[in-house]
């Protein structure tokens, strides 16, 4: 019986060690991301600032990439706007039958 309890304890400890290692890996990745972002901020260069380069300095491939970025941004705005309109219109939609609405069955 003691061996069974010890085996269960060992399994639980191994699971906790695995969970600890996963969390530690996530923390390390987060710290690395934070370090890179801080370095970009202090150096004043950010590779994701694609909107700042003047259009006349771009080659055709870069122009296409810029167009693609703006298309994705517009799609995101349109989706968000449509979703807000749908939510707003559903909030004000009538919930019951209107008294003057025509029906095919008699109302009591």
Domain annotation covers residue 5? yes
Would you say residue 98 lies in a domain? no
pLDDT on residue 38? 83
The pLDDT of residue 26 is 94
pTM: 0.37
Q: Is the pLDDT of residue 108 over 60?
A: no
Torsion 38-40-41-42 (CA) sign: positive
Are 41 and 60 within one domain? no
Residue 18: give the domain boundaries: 1-45
The domain tally of the chain equals: 2
Asked if 97 and 103 touch (Cβ cutoff 8 Å), the reply is: yes
80 vs 72: CA distance, rounded Å: 12
Phi, psi of 42 (to 5 degrees): -70, -30
């Amino acid at each position: 019986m003691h061996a069974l309890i010890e085996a269960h304890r060992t399994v639980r400890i191994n699971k906790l060690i695995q969970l600890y290692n996963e969390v530690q890996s996530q923390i390390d990745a987060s710290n690395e991301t934070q370090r890179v972002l801080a370095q970009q901020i202090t150096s004043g260069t950010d590779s994701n600032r694609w909107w700042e380069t003047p259009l006349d300095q771009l080659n055709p491939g870069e122009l296409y990439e810029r167009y693609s970025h703006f298309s994705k941004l517009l799609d995101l705005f349109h989706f968000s706007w449509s979703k807000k309109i749908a939510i707003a219109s559903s909030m004000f939609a009538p919930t019951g039958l209107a008294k003057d609405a025509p029906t095919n069955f008699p109302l009591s």
